[in-house]
Amino acid sequence: AIGVFTDKNVFEAIESKPIHYTLCLFAPYIIHHRFMCPIDEISQQFAALISHINTKLHVSLPCTKPPYPLSAFLELPHIRVPCLHVMDTTTDHADHLRQYQQFGRLTHLHLLLESHREYLSVFLSLLHGVMYDPNGPLSHDTRQYIALMAASRYSCVPVLQQCEMQYLKLRGDVSWLKSGLSSAPVKYQKLAKLNAMLAHQPWLIQATHIAQLVQGDDHTWSIAELTQACVILVVYHFVCSMYQGLCVTPEIDTYYAGTLQQQQQHGLAALDKTQKSGDSDGDDADGGDTDGDVQNVLDAALSPMLPPRADDDDDD
């Protein structure tokens, strides 16, 4: 499960840590808004911030070119996609603003599908209606949790990370995420079997499977709730299939949220060790020798596609 961090955790993490530590925590979010925010005034300010960070801390955060492509297929030299992070026309910009207003973010899938504009329009209308329309018995955070259940059937990391981030933004119950589905109420655990059948063997579903969810003990679904839940499950099974079929890469901020615990345990721990070593050797408070370590940590965090750098393993 992806690590869950509260505002208190974040403030405690940066309160007494060096700037390099803070940079490793927030750089992916800065870079995401630099390249994926369609509001020029915002993206330009983030570009200026990245340029300032690179100059002051001697690191190489991407400023003019995204750190990795929208799809792993785009690493192949013969692949060409019409729309990539570039808003060439007024129509492009207006569409991006509309999507940003609807979903609070642009995704790599949105941008890849721009070569099929009519389909993209219908697809986004469906997704927005299913997840954000005020009608229906399920709350918005519950919808995100059910979408998370759907994505877990396909182990689709980009969609899992998106759903978890949205679930937390909607102030869903954090305890439901701590130990997988076993942390959720029994009502959702009972839905897991239907989720699996819808994902892999929908032709085996019978009336008895539905009856088990709407009849019996206190942990049951109403017909309206179950209908809406099934629609969400099916839609997100389809979304996961698109992500996997197109080899869509995760957005940098959601990818980093999913790897933050590992970076804290490994990369950031190494930074602390280097910082302490520098202090004991009489280095100044800026930790000049940590720049290379910061870049290594950032390289590992900023791209799910690039192999890790060949770092020195000796601890001398």
Note if 156 is an active site residue: yes
Angle separating helix axes 223-245 and 186-200, nearest 10 degrees: 50
199 within 8 A of 150, measured Cβ to Cβ? yes
The span from the CA of 80 to the CA of 306, in Å, is 20
Query: Across 150-199, where does the E strand assignment appear?
Result: 178-181
DSSP 98-143: HHHHHHSS--HHHHHGGGSHHHHHHHHHHHHHHHH-S-SSS-HHHH
24, 156, 163, 230: the active-site residue: 156
The set of residues, in sequence order, having a beta carbon less than 8 Å from that of 258 and lying 6+ positions away, is 2, 157, 160, 161, 164, 250
Catalytic residues: 156
